[in-house]
Chain A
Amino acid sequence: MTHTQDKKSMLSQGVFIFGYLAVLTVLEFFVAVTFEAIALLIVVALVKAALVVYYYMHIYKLNAEHEGDHNSYEYKSGTNRIGLWLFLISDSFVFGGLLVMRMNLLGLTRPNLNPTLGLAVTSILLISSFFMNRGETMMSNGDRKGFLNNTLITFLLGLGFLIGVVAVEWRLAAHEGLTPSSGAAGAAFYMMTGMHAFHVLTGLIFLAIVWFNGRRGLYDEKHYPVEAAAVYWHFVDVVWIFFYPALYLIGTVIL
């Protein structure tokens, strides 16, 4: 019985973590709107990222002992996990470089964007992470139907984020005169959101692959691919946790 309780507590843990993330995001938004406290914004972003990395991406699984010989599925999944995390470390240097670029070019100013719209797309992405976590947990509990439904919701929310940024936000910004060639602010904005949107797109492709294969009946025993797609999806979320304040909250608006 303790085993099933464990599974349930994993689900309720996801709910609690999402609650923390939501509160922090709202706090972040009001801190930025009411008074300039960049240090606080950085702390909030770091806390949010740490929550996602630990509870949603299960970074502690890297440390798990793997019994059995080198050819068992479990041992190989452990190797794959290390490979994926090494890739994420490598990829985070791209986003780190983009943040450096943004700070160097813009400093304590930011492009003229609508913070409310930013909050909206951020919320969509955070909620999608929540459903991704539910889907992954359900698959490892053997609940295929729940996994399929939650992954589908994640996919649709992710698609909503992509449309929100590329189709709505880019169009509004261009309408306001912020185009890729209009200056350093436009260049930084389109490059950062564009690079992130490209990663969202690849994440959506992985989700679609996992969803179709899940519907076909795979992943009963070997559910590492589900975990990999989920971890990658959460990584994209973590990147946005830093990009959102960097583009929408920090500093004063330049026109």
Chain B
Amino acid sequence: MLFLLIAGVIGYGIGLGLDTLIMKSVRYSAPVPSAFALLFAFTAFFFGIYGYRGITRGLVYQIIGTLVGGLVVTGIRGLMGLSLFGGFFFTEPAWVFGGIAGAVSFLFGVGVMSDWVKWARGMDTPEHHEDEPGWEKYFDVSLDHKVIGIQYTVTALFLISVGGLFALIFRTELAASGLQFLNVGMSLFGQNGPQLYNTLMSLHGMIMIVSILLGISGIINYAVPLLLGAQDMAFPRMNAFAYWVSVPASVLLLMSLVLGGFDTGWTGYPPLSAKAPVGMQMFFLGVFVAGWSSILGALNVIATVLRMRAKGMTAWRLPIFVWAAVATSIIALTATQLIGLSFQLVMFQRLLGMGFFDPAKGGNPVLFQHLFWFYSHPAVYVFVLPGLGVISELLPVFARKPLFGYRWVAMSSLGIALVGFLVWAHHMFTSGMNEYLRVPFMYSTLLVAVPTGVKFFSWVATLWKGKIETPTPMLFVLGAVLVFLFGGLTGPPNATVSVDLHLHDTYFIVGHFHDTIFGGFVFPFFAAIYYWYPKATGRRMNEFWGKVHFWLMTPSFLILTFGMMRIGLLGMRRRIADYDPALGFDFTHLILTICAFGIATSVLIFFINFFHSIKHGEKAEGNLWNSRSPEWQVPSPMPAHNYDVPFEVVGEPYDYGLPGSKYVEFVGEKSKH
């Protein structure tokens, strides 16, 4: 912590000095000192707790790489006789090239490339690297999928708290009409209050999206090889690469806040995004780099499921969560390239004046929206499918009953994934696209409700007459079902063209997607953490505080989204910093802000519980939840190379309560018979 503060001040000083040198005037809250302070503080924080290796070395390399990359472009500009420095110290091309160079330098610095470099030079490397015991392996490159899964999860939790903090800031501003503290008079990071509101609002969206992608990767990485009985993922080095590439991506995203910000919302539509400050480029770059994490992670999951299954694990005996992971990976593998492409096109339009989306040059702004939503709509299925898989995976455990309609549930995940590719233009009913596209996209969107409905019927039928136990994970599963139900029911009205023309860009949409994302990701994510925490640590999280977390978060969240939908129906626009007091929304907004703080408090309780239980939680080394799944048949925490004795699948996965049924049999047991 001390390192954090000292280095922050030093970085601020250096940045201030450089800025003063270039701009010839001292600007205390300007972007450049803040950028340096941010980078130095981060690096020093990890240096303080970990020393100069692993992530610290990566961050140092990233800073050096960014500066060298920027200076190279600046030098080239100097030779070409162009302006050397811009309002943000470097010019825009220099920042972009510096950002790329920094991200690549990070990967070399952290050491995730070293094995590949050796291979390219014709050297062989050992199959496994042994990790050092204790907590230190989490800050360095590890090839163990369990370590990587936890790294993902903790990074996701960190980003969730950052994104949540941003939400609290602008939610507080919205509590009453008029601009209270984010007003025109203030100035931070080269932005005045309303601009900062826009930046925070936009970054809240994208940071949360990245954190969701990392969160699902965390659960999938941790659980899928264990559920399959594999020793590791199919490509352990690429797995580590996919995780570590998300760290410089997060740094780039945070840099966009301090480098002038941007005001487009998370969607980054041109022509506005073609004119926004340099922060826009950092945002595009960050998303692009984070996209590679998602693509390579998805590739790894599909290859693992195809090739690394235990003996006897046929398609219809796969755990349902694995089916969900495959469905989500199919989308992430293919569609993610399109958001990367659309953002690249805008980057090139800004850098080289290429007229993709500039009507004056024969470009077409609506084309961006098509390319963008071709990923960004299926992306919401990337977010929710693993969560729905967690629900289907945990419900039978706590209802002590077989999962109702296993094959239908497995196929519904794939169905959602495939139909999800055909619905993207429902975001564009008001965008000026060809009108004849509206109705087909309306029907394809309504079609998504069918496989989703299959899942709901399965959940309700699984609960029916079950012996339901309600420890914390089950509470979150039930909460997820409830919240996702509201999210699902408010979807078809938006999909209908006539209603959407009224609801487009209102708080109704905001309420709808927060319901789907909380029901499809946040609640199942917490459920999965409470459920698999004992597997990872050998201790369980505190049950009482877990229940407090649930009972504080759920009502706050439901009031929040219902309030959002109410004012949305009455005409509250989304994304704006201020609203007319005559609309009469002041009281509702105040309630919404209080609820937002309620959620934040509950998540804070979760964090304390999470970190406290690592050392002080109640010991839980056996089959805590009385599950049939293979990973619970061995002691916790999981041994380093997973199963010492391989197992064979001999029965159906979810036959809870059927006497004599068996899912897995360890090879040793068999010889006893």
Using a CB–CB cutoff of 8 Å, the interface residues on chain A facing chain B are 70, 75, 78-80, 82-83, 86-87, 89-91, 93-94, 97-98, 100-101, 104-105, 180-188, 190-191, 209, 212-213, 216, 218
16 contacts between A and B (CB under 8 A): A79-B306, A79-B307, A82-B307, A83-B235, A83-B299, A86-B333, A90-B295, A90-B334, A93-B338, A94-B341, A101-B356, A180-B352, A181-B354, A184-B362, A186-B354, A188-B356
| B552 part of interface (Cβ distance < 8 Å) | no
Complex: how many Å from CA A93 to CA B363? 21
| B353 part of interface (Cβ distance < 8 Å) | yes
Are B338 and A184 touching (Cβ within 8 A)?
no
Complex: how many Å from CA A101 to CA B349? 14
Q: Which residues of B contact A218 (CB under 8 A)?
A: 122
Of all A-B residue pairs in the complex, the 8 with the closest CB atoms, nearest first, are A181-B353, A184-B362, A187-B354, A93-B337, A213-B122, A97-B341, A79-B307, A180-B352
Partner of B352, one of A105, A181, A188: A181
Are A185 and B362 touching (Cβ within 8 A)?
yes
Q: Would A91 and B353 be within 8 Å (CB), given that A209-B120, A216-B122 are in contact? A: no
Complex: how many Å from CA A75 to CA B230? 14
Q: Would A101 and B122 be within 8 Å (CB), given that A79-B303, A82-B307, A184-B361 are in contact? A: no
Are A82 and B371 touching (Cβ within 8 A)?
no
Interface of chain B residues 339 through 375 with chain A (CB within 8 A): 340-342, 345, 348-349, 352-356, 361-364, 367, 370-371, 374
Are B371 and A100 touching (Cβ within 8 A)?
yes
Complex: how many Å from CA A121 to CA B371? 30
Interface of chain B residues 277 through 300 with chain A (CB within 8 A): 295, 299-300
| B335 part of interface (Cβ distance < 8 Å) | yes
Are B361 and A187 touching (Cβ within 8 A)?
yes
Partner of A101, one of B121, B303, B336, B367: B367
Are B234 and A83 touching (Cβ within 8 A)?
yes
Are A191 and B348 touching (Cβ within 8 A)?
yes
| B480 part of interface (Cβ distance < 8 Å) | no
A-contact 0/1 string along B113-139, CB 8 Å cutoff: 000000011100000000000000000
A-contact 0/1 string along B293-323, CB 8 Å cutoff: 0010001101100111000000000000000
Q: Which residues of B contact A90 (CB under 8 A)?
A: 295, 299, 333-334, 336-337
B572 CB to closest chain A CB, in angstroms? Answer: 35
Q: Which residues of B contact A83 (CB under 8 A)?
A: 234-235, 238, 299-300, 303
Complex: how many Å from CA A104 to CA B362? 11
Interface of chain B residues 119 through 178 with chain A (CB within 8 A): 120-122
Interface of chain B residues 573 through 599 with chain A (CB within 8 A): none
A-contact 0/1 string along B171-207, CB 8 Å cutoff: 0000000000000000000000000000000000000
Are B334 and A97 touching (Cβ within 8 A)?
no
B645 CB to closest chain A CB, in angstroms? Answer: 15
A159 CB to closest chain B CB, in angstroms? Answer: 19
Q: Would A93 and B353 be within 8 Å (CB), given that A86-B303, A101-B367 are in contact? A: no
Closest B residue to A80 by beta carbon equals B235
Are B335 and A187 touching (Cβ within 8 A)?
no
Are B355 and A181 touching (Cβ within 8 A)?
yes
A255 CB to closest chain B CB, in angstroms? Answer: 13
A63 CB to closest chain B CB, in angstroms? Answer: 12
A136 CB to closest chain B CB, in angstroms? Answer: 18
A-contact 0/1 string along B96-108, CB 8 Å cutoff: 0000000000000
A163 CB to closest chain B CB, in angstroms? Answer: 21
Are A70 and B308 touching (Cβ within 8 A)?
yes
